[in-house]
Structure 1
């Protein structure tokens, strides 16, 4: 058995994925990222959010699913995320 067979690279090397956070384009290394990494990338690219904001991901069914900071999500081109202040009562 070779080393590559014993340690397969399941998801491949990181690749940039263009997603949206609060309708703003954000480029992030994929194919996966944590909720915290999504927020950090958005902030680094000028999206006006903070790290303590609550993050949700728009699912294919149109529902918003919460994403925890330590939760790993699969990223796809155009994936929509929303980050809102946890104190937002609107």
Structure 2
């Protein structure tokens, strides 16, 4: 029996349904709804998003406002949540 690679990479064994979020307009699949800023970046990188761990993570709010998320900050994910990750020196 083969195990799902994504589940192996980010499951804490809670048996939750996979959830898809968007990081820099790329779909990223998580097994757990509770995570932190650093794990969002790590899982996104494992799934092919071209970012680095030292980049800055933002949650995109409904009005397009970017809210920074620290690496250690707890995050509860919801289906289709939007995140942006930028280089520390990117002023866009």
Interval containing the TM-score (normalised by the shorter chain): 0.7 to 0.9
- Aligned twin of 1:77: 79
Aligned residue among 19, 37, 55 for 1:35:
37
Shift of 1:17: 1.1
- Bigger mean CA deviation after superposition, 28-37 or 49-58: 28-37
Structure possessing the higher radius of gyration over alpha carbons: 1
How far apart are the structure 2 equivalents of 1:15 and 1:70?
Answer: 24
Q: How many residues align?
A: 79
Alpha-carbon RMSD across the aligned residues, in angstroms, is 1.5
Q: Residue 89 of structure 1 aligns to a residue in which SS? A: coil
Structure with the higher strand share, 1 or 2: 1
1:58 Cα deviation after fit: 1.0
The CA distance in 1 between the partners of 2:75 and 2:63, in whole Å, is 16
Structure 2: unaligned runs, 5 residues or longer:
1-13
TM-score normalised per structure 1 = 0.79
Unaligned residue ranges in structure 1 (runs of 5+)? 1-11
TM-score, normalising length: structure 2: 0.77
